Amino acid sequence: MKRALLLAAMVLAPQILWMQAGNAVEGAKVDAAKGQEIVSKVCVACHGADGNSPSPVNPKLAGQIPEYLEKQLLNFKPGANGKAERANPVMAGFAAMLSADDVRNVAAYFGSQKSKPGAAKNKDTIQLGQKIWRGGDVARGIPACASCHGASGGGVPGQYPRLAGQHAEYTEAQLRSFRAGERANDAAKMMRTIAGKMSDAEIKAVADYAAGLK
């Protein structure tokens, strides 16, 4: 019972934080057309004109939840202390050039685009990836990925990002980064806690499984 309550708390705490963050920008006007102009000049080389990145190193942004994209872009911006919540020297440079309105507009544009479907490539790990995605591992304190990101990986607007169709290599790299503490902009340390309990094989299996979700 205590373990079940702990898992529930891990899911609900970030949800509350996401809702609070969403309320802070509620009513802000966005202009996807202006976002497209910025994308065509700044983002296209790595993420593609419509957000469907051609390289597995760079994430697909097409169809991603705008609130999530906005948060990530803001997290890449260096703070008053010169450090960003999400460390990435390349993205820090680009994000620093964007105003708050630019960030919202870019997020709105990418969010309005259609993500091209991906595919799971390793048939030997499908069952393991599916098991963790759908049911987690309660005994080890690993909640089901679907509890936050949805059964089909579509995410929850204002709360959790879309992972369906994302490049498996990128998802795997982010989970490893969370596990190592190199990425630390997750609410309530949720992803660091979960990834910290996953093996290399489990991370790879989940990432590959998510790539095939639609």
Residue range 181-208, pLDDT digits in tens: 999 999 999 999 999 999 999 999 999 9
More confident residue, 197 or 19: 197
Q: State residue 14's pLDDT score.
A: 47
Whether 6 has a pLDDT exceeding 70, the answer reads no
Q: What is the pLDDT of residues 70-97, one digit of tens each?
A: 999 999 999 999 899 999 999 999 999 9
CA 189 to chain centre: 14
Tokens representing 136 are 């987690």
Contact 97, 52 (CB under 8 A): no
- Name residues whose C-beta falls within 8 Å of residue 89's C-beta, 6 or more positions apart in sequence: none
SS3 of residue 156 by DSSP: strand
Tokens representing 37 are 């102009």
Q: Residue 25: phi, psi to the nearest 5?
A: -110, 10
Select from 112, 92, 91, 110 the least CA-distant residue to 39. Answer: 110
Average pLDDT over residues 102-120: 98
Angle between helical axes of 100-112 and 66-76 (0-180°, round to 10): 140
What are the chain's domains? 31-112 (1.10.760.10), 118-211 (1.10.760.10)
SS3 of residue 137 by DSSP: strand
Q: State residue 158's pLDDT score.
A: 86
Q: State residue 21's pLDDT score.
A: 43
Average pLDDT over residues 102-124: 97
